[in-house]
Amino acid sequence: MKLKYLVCFVCFPIVLLAQQADYQKPRLVIGITVEGLTADYLSMFWNGMGNQGFRKIVENGATLSSLQFDYDATDNVSDIATFSTGSQPYLHGVSWSDVYNRNTRKYQFLLQDDAVKSINGVDQLSARGLLVTTLADELKIHSIQRSKVVSIAMNAKESILQTGHLADIVMWIDDTTGKWSSSTYYNEQLPSWVNRKNEQNAIQNYMEMVWEPLYPINYYYVTQSRGFTTKSFSYPLKKMTMGKNGVKEFKKTPFANTCIREMAVEAIEQETLGRDIFPDVLLLNFRLQSYPQASDLTVELEDAYVRLDNDIKMILEAVERKIGKEHILVYITSPRKTHYAVSPLLKEKMQLGTFNSYRYMALLNAYLMAIYGQESWVMGFYNGNIYLNRKIIDEKNLSLKEVQERAMEFVSQLPGVMNVVNSVALEQQFALRNSLRQSYNKQSSGDILFTLYPGWVEVDKNDNPTGFYNVLGNSVPFYFYGWKIQPQTIATPYAIIDATATLAKWLQIPLPNASNGVLLPIVLSAE
């Protein structure tokens, strides 16, 4: 009897602590990043949405209209890394998908890592290029590896950068094999349930389908608003996905989002996410884009929104049925739009400029040769970065700052250039805690960084667009749902890194080691 009371005396506080921890923190955080998601299109297509997807999250959760990035847009990987780490590119090291190697004078994929092996794929990739910890990393460390972290995306760069270094499962669709793939950087193999999906040819089965409107064509806002009959569409995916780029073409369709949703629901079940007092994280990356056009408002784009709405509904149903709304915290956001395509309407009405970087860099090299001698002063250039030959500058005992300023003077006069700055000045600005407006990183960025005027597009030596242009918009919407979130709308702009800091606070873990965000003013229930 005494032993019985002693056991009760010891266990009762433990039960109370477990219940208290269960109440204070969400059991499962589901982080959803949707490339191409905009508040404007979401509002435009609102009436076509169901009640259990986007509408459920927006109407029953917290909407932050404007979370801002405090640096110039590059490509989506920079924004994803900024949110996952709560820090700027200057610190986390990710400015572009590709980085220039001064030693080899070649560009290489940021995540390329020859020290690891691919699982079910071709590329050898890791998160070593991400120089700081992420929110998911801190959760793993704080829980002594008891929290689970699962990351799922179409592509490796999003799946790796949204989670970081210590995740349990990180997977993506390999462009060559068309299978769910990963890297030995995380584990030697994927779980058996993922392997079963590959054995069942889950992705290839979708590549045999036909993409047609989910609903009758007159159901869509795009059809209704134009006042005339819009043609339907039909894309046989088997035909679309033929050839070596077949998987990449498949990823442009909403069926790729459905593949991610299926794996997310499977992960919740197979990995028993959210079943104990140690919070788990499930990170998902979806994509919305108009097909086949890249910029026009099309029925295909609206259909992709409607289908993703249904995918989100199915994820919410699965997780609420297993865990309960009060134990899950869902957020949805998007990186900034970084893909540029000129509308045919604008081509007719506007004088849009092209910046031929190959030609202008040759002129810059000739200019520096006239001043400093016959050498190759410009080593490379990429997406607004100009790399000078620092070895020659050092051998000739020249001042790096002086050569950079000479180059800046020349570049600033080139047509289409809006802003130009050098690396020395940017490093001094950071040391003085001035605001960083460039996505600069000491290890990977160039000596000279420049931006183009809106409407100008960089082209290569054959006048083909490289994808580099200027994005002035620096804010994205952010949505929280579940757990103790109360319905509310916050229109005041805040920093995107504040969302990272807020999640860390709610999970009761340390901030990522380079994070400098603050808590968002979101009202939580007291229950």
CA torsion sign for 287, 291, 297, 300 is negative
291 with 362, same domain?
no
pLDDT at 350: 60
Q: Is residue 512 part of a domain?
A: no
Integer Rg of the chain from CA: 25
Residue 408 has pLDDT above 60, yes or no: yes
Q: Which one has a higher pLDDT value, 5 or 306?
A: 306
| Domain span including residue 418 | 354-469
Q: Determine the distance from the C-alpha atom of residue 168 to the mean position of all C-alpha atoms in its chain, rounded to a whole number.
A: 19
Q: Is residue 95 part of a domain?
A: yes
315 with 382, same domain?
no
206 with 116, same domain?
yes
Q: Is residue 42 part of a domain?
A: yes
478 with 447, same domain?
no
End residue of a domain, out of 469, 486, 520: 469
What pLDDT, in 10s, does the model give residues 2-13? 444 444 444 444
367 with 269, same domain?
no
End residue of a domain, out of 469, 491, 519: 469
Q: Is residue 518 part of a domain?
A: no
End residue of a domain, out of 421, 443, 469: 469
407 with 381, same domain?
yes
114 with 246, same domain?
yes
Q: Is residue 154 part of a domain?
A: yes
Lowest mean pLDDT among 6-20, 385-399, 508-522: 6-20
Mean pLDDT of the chain: 88
496 with 441, same domain?
no
What pLDDT, in 10s, does the model give residues 332-350? 999 987 555 555 555 556 6
Segments in 333-491 forming alpha helices (H): 344-349, 357-372, 390-395, 400-411, 423-431
Q: Is residue 521 part of a domain?
A: no
Structural domain count of the chain: 2
Q: Say which CATH number the domain at 360 has.
A: 3.30.1360.150
Tokens read off for 492: 């005041």
Q: Is residue 519 part of a domain?
A: no
Residue 209 phi/psi, 5° resolution? Answer: -85, 175
- Written in H, E and C, the secondary structure of 72-125 is CCCCHHHHHHHHHHCCCHHHHCCCCCEEEECCCCEEEECCECCCCCEECCCCCE
Q: Say which CATH number the domain at 306 has.
A: 3.40.720.10
For 42-57, give the DSSP string: HHHTGGGS-SSSHHHH
Tokens read off for 189: 């193999």
Residue 98 has pLDDT above 90, yes or no: no
Q: Is residue 343 part of a domain?
A: no
The predicted model scores a pTM of 0.91
**pLDDT mean over 411-429:** 86
**pLDDT mean over 296-301:** 86
What pLDDT, in 10s, does the model give residues 161-170? 999 999 999 9
**What number of CA atoms fall less than 13 Å from residue 522's CA on the CB side?**
27
What percentage of the chain has pLDDT greater than the value 90? 67
Q: 81-95, 102-116, 185-199, 226-240 — which one is most confidently predicted on average?
A: 185-199
Residue 87 has pLDDT above 60, yes or no: yes
69 with 137, same domain?
yes
**pLDDT mean over 436-442:** 65
pLDDT at 348: 59
178 with 245, same domain?
yes
What pLDDT, in 10s, does the model give residues 467-491? 777 766 678 999 999 999 999 999 9
CA torsion sign for 141, 145, 147, 149 is positive
pLDDT at 9: 45
26 with 107, same domain?
yes
334 with 431, same domain?
no
Residue 461 has pLDDT above 60, yes or no: yes
